[in-house]
């Protein structure tokens, strides 16, 4: 197990390196550079800017410089927030995006699994219908529409919550909900489907016929086994959720990494793009690693060697 | 196919029964049939849109800007005085195409990779999954934007860009399912009885993992439609004046405070299509579940 | 049954939400009476270092904290701020050859830390603007100063060479109250340039001490009415009155600049009483005007910005002047404005109203007239429009531009039977595409850096000029511009520019569409707001020291 984890971490570093190189290449392939504007800058200014940010150097030298900086924890200077280092900018957004993402994720997992499980255990009851309705509705509304609906109801009409910003508990409720609704719906459906499937398995029947307590059957056999597909989906969903905060952060004016990332792309802020992509890649890789390790924990039949 | 070639195991249960039985069970499921019929009717309506509405989706009537629903314009008009009902019908063409073609790409890439990785295990699994990790390492939106920029404009490039990014989830799901099913008794039995790898994968592993895959695909279709909307927002979606539901939702979102109809109808259309796919997916899952065949 | 009930519930929920949306537009709350103004900056300013800033949001921030030698009145005429008077040849502030400018500074001007503002603070700022290592976006505006271009272009030189070039820049401070600037050539608009933010005074000691973090409060020392007291990145900025301000003390106790990027979210924040001034999303203007509560809160004013379709005059069929004129006649500008909720003014000529050079009589010949459009096409040899090459129209894909592009497509189809292809592009890609001259026909806008034709004609229509994306070239225009750029007599100069603009409108490298109008909501308790055609991101930002909140 330990060897497996170490090997996975080494792989992770390699994955990050490949991701960084592909992003770096694609970034330079996409038409339009950081200094292209509607009101064009004077050629002397463009030349000086390229010089200032090292963009006058050949491609591989630029990539090399990026890697050297990365080893020192330095992602360079942002072009769109010109006086600040990318590392500093990302560090400021990180706790915000993480708090939002984890809150939404925990809510989505709790709501999703309990709704899905309840629906499956009481198939064709009102609980089942409510659960299916919930997951259908929230999986059917685009995130930005849901966000503005929440804002209109809870801020404009009821005056219960502020429309955006960051810093208080009241400011996290709507964005976390807007962010977590789709994964919660998805998790509820996956849980329902897999629980129904597990309940039909022979070992559940066997366990029941052995006269085991219903609670034991439920926890040891049904819950555990029906969570395998949920775990598979939870890792990517967590990553989706963190990266999905891009739109939600923009609408609710939350100063997180998602909003920086969007701005970075539009501004061709290479340092900011590289920094945020690597951050996302890291979160995703870790999430996947945790999922694979959790497989082994939940499903003892899977052995890593 | 290779499946039929192996007569020692396959003879007891003829090949057609999996799908034949499934169809029989699917037909008994009213919700699934309703969902399927809705999708077919919508597809037909999209194809025969010119016979259903007298309006051209691109015709601008400046005397009727941003109107509420009326007898003349059933679902009102948009900011350029175009009939929203006509745009919804024609937009169904784009959105169904985006939903379906991207999923074909997703299935075509994601299932083989996931299945091979899960079944083969070891080094093959490692190589494939690290490739998947690299793909997965990218924030979807960035990769779609970059790919679209590299591939160029047009609707086929749009399918390709979304599909090439979206397959990763499915491959991980398939692999997870196969890892879990692989260790079950009936697979070991099949192995003992001399089943080949391909036979076991196609005959046992894939059918047994179809349930969650189908559920996932029914969710992915509207997601692809949403992705198309996000791309329209960034400016690399469908080329106007061709309508798409995603672009209509986005245009409607901009004027949500002036005329909520503009976002309501396309959002409702997406929601209904989504519900239809959900019911159909549920039905398919139940129908394809091998354990229900007894 | 189950499906039906789900759909019904879904419908019910969506309908309720929609009702909520419509009824939401009837909210109204009372002001608190506190002297706090809350406005939306929309996004994080990229830069608040006056030398390096170039965007509207940055300008809105800098204007609160800094005051320059000169400034603009509400009518955009010049005003002496830190300078005692506006230099003229008559008061000997400008030498007779127009090459030497002498500014005399007021003696009572102080920084927010109570130090005195001296002429050397301006010398430092101007030289820093031209520093090649800093690569300031507006540096090229000041290349007419002696030695400026040589210094800025010294990117490859050694430090010693750079210092020598820096010392050679023609800016000096003979004493604390006198600033002298030498130019290579006479430049009639030089005083306008001296009223812009890149040459506001800066504190060398502060910048040397704090480096790049000098723009973080409390290091951000200025000589303006307000102080930046808090900057939560991507969230908000807070300004408080500068206790050492040397001019008339502001009324407000606090200004909050929020950074709400989404237009719907900003409007929701306005409804919710979190903003005192807000824009409305494009397309919502008409609904706002018909709303009984909101309509009295609407503030509309003209902006020095013109929007136009620009042809690439090197690509057929647009190399033919008659085709360009014909297409100009084929677009119904008023209808576009109606579609845009009646916001904006029909533009028949390039330079907008509200600044020197605007000519209300110009361009009427190529106004909307389908008959004339067809005649011109006939003359151009295209009586059969199917003979035209395929026309592609490029634009940066935003909601507003999408509407405009589809409108143009419909106009061409309906009025002339010409099918044009739309080519939406992501913003930076579009800009590079245009800068490289790859487009056939494209959408663009131009806003004033300073209110003079000098900023509106030579850069866009001069042969080979930096922002000449039509690739238009007319020797007569170039000759007129060369004279006008250096002509010190204002009447002659403006006449030259008027002639030059007329040439451009006749040659029709662009189809002018509309002058921008700003459309905002302002809470009734906000008083004393003074807007201009050159406001930054937030409305009335040049006169926030006069704003107050009514009880």
Among all residues of chain C, which has the CA nearest to that of A137?
A: C10
- C304 in contact with B, Cβ within 8 Å: no
Chain C residues 17-36 within an 8 A CB cutoff of chain A: 17, 20-21, 23-24, 27
Helix runs in C66-114, H state only: none
pLDDT in the model for residue B3: 39
Per-residue confidence in pLDDT tens, chain C, 551 aa: 344 444 444 444 444 444 444 444 334 445 567 899 999 998 889 889 999 998 899 999 999 999 999 999 999 999 999 999 999 999 999 999 999 999 999 999 999 999 999 999 999 999 999 999 999 999 999 999 999 999 999 988 999 999 999 999 999 999 999 999 999 999 999 999 999 999 999 999 999 999 988 999 999 999 999 999 999 988 899 999 999 999 999 999 999 999 998 888 899 899 889 999 999 998 899 999 999 999 999 999 999 999 999 999 999 999 999 999 999 999 999 999 999 989 999 999 999 999 999 999 998 999 999 999 999 999 999 999 999 999 999 998 888 898 999 999 999 999 999 999 998 888 888 999 999 999 999 999 999 999 999 999 999 999 999 899 999 999 999 999 999 999 999 999 999 999 999 999 999 999 999 999 999 999 999 999 999 999 999 999 999 999 999 97
pLDDT in the model for residue C276: 96
Q: What gap in Å lies between CA A156 and CA C268, rounded to an integer?
A: 6
Burial of A162 (0-12, 13-18, 19+ CB in 10 A): buried
Angle at A38 between CA A36 and CA A40, to 5 degrees: 60
Q: Which domains does chain C have, with CATH numbers?
A: 64-203 (3.90.76.10), 302-516 (3.10.105.10)
pLDDT in the model for residue A121: 85
C172 forms beta bridges with C180
Compute φ and ψ for A184, nearest 5 degrees. Answer: -60, -45
Chain C residues 309-368 within an 8 A CB cutoff of chain A: none
Listed residue (C231, C203, C202, C175) closest to C61, CA to CA: C231
Chain C CB contacts of B261 below 8 Å:
18
Q: What gap in Å lies between CA C206 and CA B290, rounded to an integer?
A: 76
- C396 in contact with B, Cβ within 8 Å: yes
pLDDT in the model for residue A193: 81
CB pairs under 8 A between B and C: 109
C84 in helix, strand or coil? coil
Taking CB atoms and an 8 Å limit, are A83 and C212 in contact across chains?
yes
pLDDT in the model for residue A258: 82
Find the CB nearest B134 among A19, A235, A247: A19
Does A47 fall in a domain? no
Does A65 fall in a domain? no
Among all residues of chain B, which has the CA nearest to that of A281?
A: B137
Taking CB atoms and an 8 Å limit, are C399 and B250 in contact across chains?
yes
The subunits that touch chain B, with at least 3 C-beta pairs less than 8 Å apart, are A, C
pLDDT category of residue B291 using cuts at 50, 70 and 90: low
Contact C287/C271 with Cβ under 8 angstroms? no
pLDDT in the model for residue B4: 40
Scan for tokens 């949306």, then name that residue. Answer: C21
Scan for tokens 């550079």, then name that residue. Answer: A33
Chain C CB contacts of A271 below 8 Å:
none
Q: In total, how many domains does chain B have?
A: 1
Find the CB nearest B257 among C287, C424, C425: C287
Does A64 fall in a domain? no
Listed residue (A291, A263, A277, A258) closest to A98, CA to CA: A258
| Distance from the A152 Cα atom to the nearest Cα atom in chain C, whole angstroms | 6
pLDDT in the model for residue C32: 65
Chain C CB contacts of A42 below 8 Å:
139-140, 143, 466
Taking CB atoms and an 8 Å limit, are A80 and C137 in contact across chains?
no
pLDDT in the model for residue C7: 43
The subunits that touch chain C, with at least 3 C-beta pairs less than 8 Å apart, are A, B
Q: What gap in Å lies between CA C308 and CA C442, rounded to an integer?
A: 8
SS3 track for B156-222:
HHHHHHHHHHHHHHHHHHHHHHHHHHHCCHHHHHHHHCCCCHHHHHHHHHHHHHHHHHHHHHHHHHH
Chain B CB contacts of C7 below 8 Å:
272, 275
pLDDT in the model for residue C10: 43
CB pairs under 8 A between A and B: 143
Q: What gap in Å lies between CA C123 and CA C171, rounded to an integer?
A: 6
Chain B residues 59-118 within an 8 A CB cutoff of chain A: none
Find the CB nearest B253 among A29, A144, A276: A144
pLDDT in the model for residue C246: 92
- C446 in contact with A, Cβ within 8 Å: yes
Chain C CB contacts of B264 below 8 Å:
14, 18
**Test the B interface: residue of A22, A145, A196, A197 with most B CBs within 10 Å:** A145
pLDDT in the model for residue B293: 46
Chain A residues 198-217 within an 8 A CB cutoff of chain B: 200-201
Q: Which domain holds residue A104?
A: 92-266
Report the CATH number at residue A98: 1.10.3720.10
pLDDT in the model for residue C397: 82
Query: CA–CA distance from B88 to each of A257, B46, C15, C227, C434 (Å)?
Result: 35, 9, 19, 53, 34
Taking CB atoms and an 8 Å limit, are B137 and A16 in contact across chains?
yes
Chain C CB contacts of B235 below 8 Å:
396-398, 424-427
Chain B CB contacts of C284 below 8 Å:
254-255, 257-258
The stretches in chain A having pLDDT less than 50 are 305
**DSSP characters for A190-236?**
HHHHHHHHHHTSHHHHHHHHTT--HHHIIIIIIIHHHHHHHHHHHHH
Taking CB atoms and an 8 Å limit, are C426 and A32 in contact across chains?
yes
Find the CB nearest C467 among A39, A51, A267: A39
- B161 in contact with C, Cβ within 8 Å: no
Does B17 fall in a domain? no
Does A195 fall in a domain? yes
Chain C CB contacts of A153 below 8 Å:
17, 20
Find the CB nearest A253 among C259, C427, C430: C259
Helix runs in chain A, H state only: 2-29, 43-52, 59-71, 86-121, 126-140, 143-151, 170-199, 202-209, 214-216, 224-251, 257-267, 270-298
pLDDT category of residue B234 using cuts at 50, 70 and 90: low
Find the CB nearest B240 among C263, C286, C402: C402
Report the CATH number at residue B194: 1.10.3720.10
- B241 in contact with C, Cβ within 8 Å: yes
Q: What gap in Å lies between CA C362 and CA C349, rounded to an integer?
A: 6
**Test the B interface: residue of C18, C409, C410 with most B CBs within 10 Å:** C410
Among all residues of chain B, which has the CA nearest to that of C338?
A: B62
Does A271 fall in a domain? no
The mean pLDDT value for B153-158 works out to 80
- The first and second tokens of residue A132, run together, are 């299916």
Chain A CB contacts of B226 below 8 Å:
142-143
Contact A69/A75 with Cβ under 8 angstroms? yes
Q: Which residues of C315-354 are buried (b: 16+ CB within 10 A; e: fewer)?
A: bebbebbbbbbbbbbbbbbebbbebbbebbbbbbbbbbbb
- The first and second tokens of residue B175, run together, are 């692999």
pLDDT in the model for residue A303: 54
Query: CA–CA distance from C522 to each of A74, C43, C271, C281, C298 (Å)?
Result: 44, 19, 11, 15, 6
- B275 in contact with A, Cβ within 8 Å: yes
Taking CB atoms and an 8 Å limit, are B215 and A193 in contact across chains?
yes
Q: Which of B91-105, B252-266, C228-242 has the lowest mean pLDDT?
A: B252-266
Q: Which domain holds residue B264?
A: 40-53+74-292
Angle at C490 between CA C488 and CA C494, to 5 degrees: 115
pLDDT in the model for residue C4: 43
The mean pLDDT value for B181-197 works out to 71
Among all residues of chain B, which has the CA nearest to that of A289?
A: B133
- C1 in contact with A, Cβ within 8 Å: no
Q: In total, how many domains does chain A have?
A: 1
Compute φ and ψ for C181, nearest 5 degrees. Answer: -130, 130
pLDDT in the model for residue B18: 62
Does B68 fall in a domain? no
């Amino acid at each position: 197990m330990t060897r497996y984890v170490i090997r996975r971490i080494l792989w992770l570093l390699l994955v990050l390196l490949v991701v960084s190189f592909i992003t770096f290449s694609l970034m330079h392939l996409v038409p339009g550079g950081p200094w292209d504007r509607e009101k064009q800058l004077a050629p002397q200014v463009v030349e000086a800017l390229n010089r200032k940010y090292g963009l006058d150097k050949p491609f591989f030298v630029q990539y090399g410089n990026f890697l050297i900086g990365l080893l020192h924890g330095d992602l360079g200077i942002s072009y769109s927030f010109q006086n600040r280092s990318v590392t500093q900018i990302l560090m400021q957004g990180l706790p915000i995006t993480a708090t939002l993402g984890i809150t939404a994720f925990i809510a989505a997992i709790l709501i999703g699994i309990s709704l899905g499980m309840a629906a499956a255990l009481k198939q064709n009851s009102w609980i089942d219908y409510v659960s299916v309705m919930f997951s259908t509705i929230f999986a059917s509304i685009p995130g930005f529409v849901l966000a503005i609906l929440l804002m209109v109801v809870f801020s404009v009409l009821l005056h219960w919550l502020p429309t955006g910003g960051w810093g208080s508990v009241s400011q996290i409720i709507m964005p976390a909900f807007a962010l977590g609704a789709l994964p919660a719906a998805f998790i509820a459906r996956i849980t329902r489907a897999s629980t129904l499937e597990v309940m039909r398995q022979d070992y559940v029947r066997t366990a029941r016929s052995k006269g085991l307590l219903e609670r034991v059957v439920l926890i040891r056999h049904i819950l555990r086994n029906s969570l395998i597909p949920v775990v598979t989906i939870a890792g990517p969903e967590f990553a989706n959720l963190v990266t999905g905060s891009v739109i939600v952060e923009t609408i609710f004016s939350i100063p997180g990494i998602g909003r920086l990332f969007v701005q970075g792309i539009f501004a061709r802020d290479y340092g900011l793009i590289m920094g945020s992509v690597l951050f996302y890649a890291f979160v995703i890789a870790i999430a996947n690693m945790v999922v694979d390790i959790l497989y082994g924990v939940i499903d003892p039949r899977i052995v890593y060697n | 196919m290779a499946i039929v070639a192996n007569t020692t195991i396959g003879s007891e249960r003829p090949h057609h029964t999996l799908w034949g039985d499934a169809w029989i069970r699917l037909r008994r499921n009213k919700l699934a049939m309703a969902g399927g019929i809705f999708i077919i009717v919508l597809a037909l309506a999209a194809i025969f849109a010119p016979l259903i509405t007298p309006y051209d989706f691109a015709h601008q009537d400046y005397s009727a800007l941003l109107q509420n629903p009326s007898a003349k314009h059933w679902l009102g008009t948009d900011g350029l005085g175009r009939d929203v009902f006509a745009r919804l019908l024609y937009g169904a063409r784009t959105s169904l195409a985006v939903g379906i073609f991207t999923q074909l790409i997703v299935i075509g890439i994601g299932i083989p990779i996931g299945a091979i990785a899960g079944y083969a295990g070891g080094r093959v699994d490692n190589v494939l999954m690290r490739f998947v990790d690299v793909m997965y390492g990218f924030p979807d939106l960035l990769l779609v934007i970059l790919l679209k920029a590299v591939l160029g404009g047009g609707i086929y490039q749009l399918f390709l860009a979304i599909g090439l990014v979206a397959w990763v989830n499915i491959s991980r799901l398939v692999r997870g399912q196969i890892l879990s099913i692989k260790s079950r008794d009936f697979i070991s039995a099949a192995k003992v009885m001399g089943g080949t790898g391909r036979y076991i994968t196609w005959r046992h592993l894939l059918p047994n993992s179809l349930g969650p895959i189908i559920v996932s695909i029914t969710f992915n279709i509207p997601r692809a439609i949403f992705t198309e909307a996000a791309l329209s927002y960034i400016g690399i979606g469908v080329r106007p004046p061709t309508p798409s539901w995603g672009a209509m939702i986005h245009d409607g979102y901009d004027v949500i405070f002036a005329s909520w109809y503009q976002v309501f109808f396309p959002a409702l259309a997406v929601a209904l299509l989504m519900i239809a796919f959900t019911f159909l997916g549920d039905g398919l899952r139940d129908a394809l579940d091998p354990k229900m065949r007894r | 049954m189950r499906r039906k009930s789900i759909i019904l519930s879904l419908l019910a929920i969506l309908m309720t939400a929609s009702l909520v949306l419509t009824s939401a537009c009837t909210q109204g709350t009372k002001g608190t009476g506190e002297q706090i103004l809350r406005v939306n900056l929309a996004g994080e300013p990229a830069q608040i270092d006056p030398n390096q800033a170039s965007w509207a949001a940055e300008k809105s921030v800098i204007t609160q904290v800094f005051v320059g030698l000169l400034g603009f009145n509400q009518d955009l005429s010049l005003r002496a701020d830190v300078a005692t008077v506006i230099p003229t040849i008559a008061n000997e502030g400008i030498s007779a050859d127009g090459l030497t400018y002498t500014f005399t500074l007021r003696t009572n001007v102080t920084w927010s830390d109570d130090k005195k503002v001296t002429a050397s603070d301006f010398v430092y700022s101007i030289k820093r603007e031209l520093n090649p290592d800093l690569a300031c976006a507006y540096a090229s505006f000041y290349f007419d100063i002696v030695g400026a271009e040589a210094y800025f272009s010294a990117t490859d030189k050694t430090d010693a060479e750079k210092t020598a070039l820096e010392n050679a820049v023609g800016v000096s401070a003979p004493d604390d109250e006198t600033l002298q600037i030498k130019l290579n050539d006479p430049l009639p608009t030089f005083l306008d340039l001296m009223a812009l933010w890149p040459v506001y005074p800066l504190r060398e000691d502060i910048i040397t001490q704090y480096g790049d973090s000098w723009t973080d409060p409390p290091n951000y020392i200025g000589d303006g009415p307000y102080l930046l007291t808090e900057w939560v990145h991507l969230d908000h900025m807070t300004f408080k009155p500068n206790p050492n301000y040397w001019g008339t003390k502001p009324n407000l106790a606090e200004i909050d600049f929020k950074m709400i990027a989404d237009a719907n979210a900003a409007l929701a924040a306005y409804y919710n009483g979190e903003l005192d001034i807000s824009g409305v999303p494009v397309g919502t203007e008409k609904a706002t005007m018909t709303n009984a509560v909101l309509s009295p809160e609407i503030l509309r004013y003209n902006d020095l910005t013109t929007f136009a379709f620009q042809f690439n005059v090197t690509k057929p069929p647009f190399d033919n002047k008659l085709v360009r004129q014909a297409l100009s006649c084929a677009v119904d500008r008023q209808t576009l404005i109606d579609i845009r909720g009646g916001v904006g003014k029909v533009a028949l000529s390039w330079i907008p109203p509200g600044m020197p050079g605007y000519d209300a009589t110009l361009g009427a010949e190529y106004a909307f007239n389908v008959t004339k459009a067809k005649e011109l096409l006939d003359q151009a040899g295209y009586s059969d429009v199917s003979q035209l090459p395929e026309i592609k129209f490029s634009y940066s894909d935003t909601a507003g531009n999408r509407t405009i592009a589809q409108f143009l497509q419909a106009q061409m189809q309906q009025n002339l039977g010409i099918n044009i292809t739309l080519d939406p592009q992501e913003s930076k890609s579009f800009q590079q595409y245009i800068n490289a001259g790859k487009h056939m026909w494209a959408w663009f806008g131009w806003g004033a850096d300073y209110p003079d034709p000098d900023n509106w004609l030579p850069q866009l229509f001069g042969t080979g000029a930096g922002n000449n994306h039509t690739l238009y070239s007319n020797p007569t225009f170039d000759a007129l511009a060369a004279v006008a750029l250096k002509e010190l007599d204002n009447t002659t100069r403006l006449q030259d520019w008027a002639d030059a603009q007329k040439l451009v409108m006749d040659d029709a490298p662009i189809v002018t569409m509309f002058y921008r109008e700003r459309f905002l909501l302002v809470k009734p308790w906000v008083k004393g707001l003074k807007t201009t055609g050159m406001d930054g991101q937030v409305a009335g930002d040049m006169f926030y020291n006069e704003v107050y909140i009514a009880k």
